[in-house]
Amino acid sequence: MARRPPAEPAPGPGQRGSAPPATGLDLRTAPALAELPVRPGPGLPPEPRYRELLARHPVLALIGNTPLVRIDLFREELPGVEIWAKAEFLNPGGSLKDRPVLRMLAEAWLAGALAGRTVIDSSSGNAGIAYAMIGGLLGVAIELVVPGNASAERQQRIVAHGAQLRLTDPLLGYDEALREAHRRAAAEPDRYYLADQYANPHNWLAHYHGTAAEILAQTGGELTDFVAGVGTGGTITGCGRRLKEHDPRIEVSCVRPESFPGIEGLKPLGAPGDIVPAILDQGVIDRWIEVRSEDARAVCRALARQGLFVGLSSGAYLYAAREVARLRGRGRIVTLLNDTGERYFSTRLWQT
């Protein structure tokens, strides 16, 4: 699709966080999203080198191409804005992380890098499930280093798929799990293949070629904003790059959770010692939205009463989308429902 000429000059660095420019999107005349086609097929680029892998393991074709769902939670408050979310909890592993893990493991598998080796990586839980599920399917040994405060449901599912679990001190945060995975891989390089989702370019490429391409197809390229957060940086980097290539006026807002108690799967990136993921492109981020865990929790509970049972990071994304909608006043915002709420029964999320 050809790019539309910008109605106004793009904001300069000093304007970030200020009221964004007009986008030219008029919801009264824009195509209804339900009328637009969705590209069928697996969540991998349509390249010949993937065909054998997908033919041998057809379950992998279930990953990606998730529906776009309209969120009506704030409709009365903000009638001039549409908020839509990709239902990533419908992936077979139950989360968005199926996408990048499939791409990373597929590339390593096709390159012959996994033969006789154990894949190791760190995870907050969802990527660990995806590694365990897809690795088990491919017949590859998987070892995951996960913070000890990852929900019991996540830990149990990782083990159910046959992966080995290593837990780190939760007080040391996600970064300690990352460091431990690197220590183990460095100590035994012949034994381990370090997938390193924080630095692996196939992480963000999965979202560039998959998630963002689907968003453009499902919206007809007509959106004003994209809202996400940073775990590894893959989602916001891949989607941000692809969406801004399509239309530089699309604004990307990033969730910044509080450091404590925090939001599972999201990095605050606020302290000097925080590890910034190597693949994160902060240049695509137009503004940061501060989100407290209790605000995200309140949104999750409100969504549950509307039939969407999702995890805490999804609540954080929608809280941030609401803040962007208040700033915008009009437009079409797209975000993600990262995982299922059933993964959090053992946490404070659903406790009354």
For 227-272, how does the pLDDT look when each residue is reduced to its tens digit (9 = 90+)? 999 999 999 999 999 999 999 999 999 999 988 777 887 888 877 8
Smallest CA-to-CA distance from 289 within 276, 311, 270 is with 270
Within 10 A of 342 (CB to CB), how many other CB atoms are there? 13
- Interatomic CA distance for residues 47 and 32, integer angstroms: 31
- Domain contains 19: no
Same domain? 103 vs 78: no
pLDDT of residue 347: 77
Q: Which residues of 58-69 are buried (b: 16+ CB within 10 A; e: fewer)?
A: eebbebbbbebb
Same domain? 234 vs 288: yes
- Domain contains 11: no
Across the chain, which distance is largest between two alpha carbons, in Å?
Answer: 60
CB-based contacts of 270, cutoff 8 Å, min separation 6: 256, 259
- Interatomic CA distance for residues 42 and 151, integer angstroms: 29
Give the mean pLDDT of the chain.
Answer: 87
pLDDT of residue 214: 95
- Interatomic CA distance for residues 89 and 132, integer angstroms: 17
Mean pLDDT for 312-323 is 96
Q: What angle do CA 94, 214, 9 make, to 5 degrees?
A: 125
Same domain? 229 vs 300: yes
The predicted-structure confidence for 206-235, as pLDDT tens digits, reads as follows 999 999 999 999 999 999 999 999 999 999
pLDDT of residue 19: 45
Same domain? 211 vs 78: yes
- Domain contains 26: no
Same domain? 305 vs 258: yes
Q: Which amino acid is at 212?
A: A
User: Does residue 37 have a pLDDT over 70?
Assistant: no
Same domain? 242 vs 321: yes
Domain count, the chain: 2
Mean pLDDT for 158-178 is 91
Same domain? 212 vs 283: yes
The predicted-structure confidence for 90-143, as pLDDT tens digits, reads as follows 999 999 999 999 999 999 999 999 999 999 999 978 999 999 999 999 999 999
User: Does residue 345 have a pLDDT over 80?
Assistant: no
Same domain? 258 vs 302: yes
- Domain contains 131: yes
Catalytic: 97?
Answer: yes
- Domain contains 133: yes
- Interatomic CA distance for residues 64 and 238, integer angstroms: 15
Same domain? 69 vs 131: no
CATH number for the domain that contains residue 179: 3.40.50.1100
Q: Name which of 71-80, 192-201, 337-346 the model is least confident about.
A: 337-346
- Domain contains 41: yes
User: Which of 194, 227, 249 delimits the end of a domain?
Assistant: 194
Same domain? 84 vs 222: yes
User: Which of 147, 163, 194 delimits the end of a domain?
Assistant: 194
Per the CB < 8 A criterion, the answer to whether 251 and 15 are in contact is no
Same domain? 213 vs 339: yes
Same domain? 178 vs 213: no
Per the CB < 8 A criterion, the answer to whether 349 and 297 are in contact is yes
- Domain contains 47: yes
Strand partners, 227: 253
User: Which of 140, 171, 194 delimits the end of a domain?
Assistant: 194
Q: Which own/partner contact pairs does 176-179 have at CB distance under 8 Å and 24+ positions apart?
A: 176/147, 177/122, 177/123, 177/124, 177/145, 177/146, 177/147, 178/122, 178/145, 178/275
In degrees rounded to 5, what are phi and psi of residue 81? -125, 135
Share of the chain above pLDDT 70, in %: 88
pLDDT of residue 125: 82
- Domain contains 68: yes
Q: Name which of 150-159, 226-235, 258-267, 288-297 the model is least confident about.
A: 258-267
User: Does residue 35 have a pLDDT over 80?
Assistant: no
Q: Which range marks the domain in which residue 69 is found?
A: 33-92+206-344
